[in-house]
Structure 1
Amino acid sequence: MNRKTASLWVSGVLLLGATTAHADLPDEATLYKNPQCGCCDGYARHLEELGIDVTIVDNVELGDIKLQAGVPYGLGSCHTIEIGEYWIEGHVPMEAVTKLFEDQPDVGGIGLAGMPIGTPGMPGPQAEPYNVYAFSDQENEPFMTLEP
């Protein structure tokens, strides 16, 4: 196999891997947010670019949704997403969301507190590690750390 053929083969394998990495994600999601929050719309657009049909709900009490989802107090963000059997709290990068659906742990969901720069919907470069947590029933534990 010559160098050009090998390069094309590796590129094809990587492309197929990227395509199947998101294959485990559900086709639909509901994003609950404040009506004035534009970065939440950016996160919804990011999900849509991955082929997920997103319904945006901006006329509910977010505190009630977070309580229903089991998000621990103090670890919330500007939006909460219901996707498949899980909840996603905030601007969680797709690497963590994909891992959640690949591993399917016995948790209510995963989250990333605040609105970190460099995450989907929050423009700019990642400046510090993202500490993604898993949660259930208002309790949390580390899920994964994404380094810059």
Structure 2
Amino acid sequence: MSDQLGPKRPLGVTIVAALAVVSGVFDLIGGIVLLSMQSDPTTADAFGGASVATSLAVMEIAFGIVMILIAVGLLRGNTVSRIAATIVQAFSLAGSIWIGIAQPATLSTEIVSALVALAILMLLWSADATRYFKGLSPDQPTS
């Protein structure tokens, strides 16, 4: 018998949460690096000024924190986190399609990004994940 309280978390949900943590950590690191470089004239010019670079850095740090909070919520079976992760991945998928069409040179990278977003969406909305987020055991029907 398992010591875990509540429904057993599907592997797919754990994978999605791990990817969200990795994404959040990279966003945090990127935002901190950009924040530390915003006073460099080359960096500031690349972003249209130091204030724009600072704003982007703060937004990236905030996004990283949100992604980590989403991951924690997914691990706990929080349905709001599931919806938030779905919205983020839908935007990622749409962005990958748009960028792949607008910049054909990046098509191979955008195809990979789109496939990852699709995989995450499939994992989040599988029957096992649905049972988990509804608090049902693996043998209970979802409806």
TM-score (norm 1): 0.25
Which structure ranks higher in relative contact order (CA pairs < 8 Å, sequence separation ≥ 6)? 2
- Relative to the length of structure 2, the TM-score reads 0.26
> Higher helix share goes to which structure?
2
> More strand per residue: 1 or 2?
1
Please say which structure displays the higher CA radius of gyration. Answer: 2
